């Protein structure tokens, strides 16, 4: 499975690349903090909400530190999604390296 660093994701987004950023954390985690522009589909709902994602889009999946998102990436790839990447280090690394205003937990 492809991994993308938070710095690479940030650079690609800043350059205007169309990337669908999917947050697979639970609602209480999203209520505490989130990456701007992400869409929230909790991990357990992904199989039931595939119609919300285009299999041809560039998709980056994230969670707290990268474990759940890796599982979702593997699932999406198994369903034919072509360009899926895991955000290495999740929202924790995003907070550390890109946007310290995003609270860590």
- Which of 22, 43, 60, 63 is catalytic? The answer is 63
Q: State both tokens at 43.
A: 């991990």
Query: Residue 84: which pLDDT band, with cuts at 50, 70 and 90?
Result: very high
Residue 74 lies in domain:
2-97
Q: Does residue 73 carry a catalytic annotation?
A: no
Q: Is residue 93 part of a domain?
A: yes
Instruction: Express each pLDDT in 86-105 by its tens digit.
Output: 999 999 999 999 999 999 99
Provide the pLDDT for residue 24: 98
What CATH number has the domain bearing residue 82?
3.40.250.10
Q: Is residue 103 part of a domain?
A: no
Q: State both tokens at 88.
A: 């290495």
DSSP string covering 60-79: EEE-SSSHHHHHHHHHHHHT
Instruction: Express each pLDDT in 5-57 by its tens digit.
Output: 999 999 999 999 999 999 999 999 999 999 999 999 999 999 999 999 999 99
Task: Give φ, ψ of 104 to 5 degrees.
Answer: -100, 150
Instruction: Express each pLDDT in 52-75 by its tens digit.
Output: 999 999 999 999 999 999 999 999
Residue 65 and residue 78: Cα distance in Å, rounded? 22
Residue 31 and residue 51: Cα distance in Å, rounded? 24
Residue 25 and residue 4: Cα distance in Å, rounded? 18
Helix, strand, coil percentages, rounded to 5, for the chain: 40, 20, 40
Contact 20, 57 (CB under 8 A): yes
Q: How many domains does the chain have?
A: 1
Q: Is residue 45 part of a domain?
A: yes
């Amino acid at each position: 499975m492809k991994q993308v660093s938070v710095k690479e994701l940030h650079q690609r987004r800043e350059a205007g690349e169309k990337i669908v950023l999917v947050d697979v954390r639970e609602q209480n985690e999203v209520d505490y903090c989130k990456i701007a522009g992400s869409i929230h589909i909790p991990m357990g709902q992904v199989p039931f909400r595939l119609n919300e994602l285009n299999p041809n889009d560039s998709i980056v999946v994230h969670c707290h530190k990268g474990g759940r998102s890796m599982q979702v990436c593997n699932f999406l790839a198994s369903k034919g999604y072509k360009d899926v990447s895991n955000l290495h280090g999740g929202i924790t690394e995003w907070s550390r390296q890109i946007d310290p205003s995003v609270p860590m937990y």
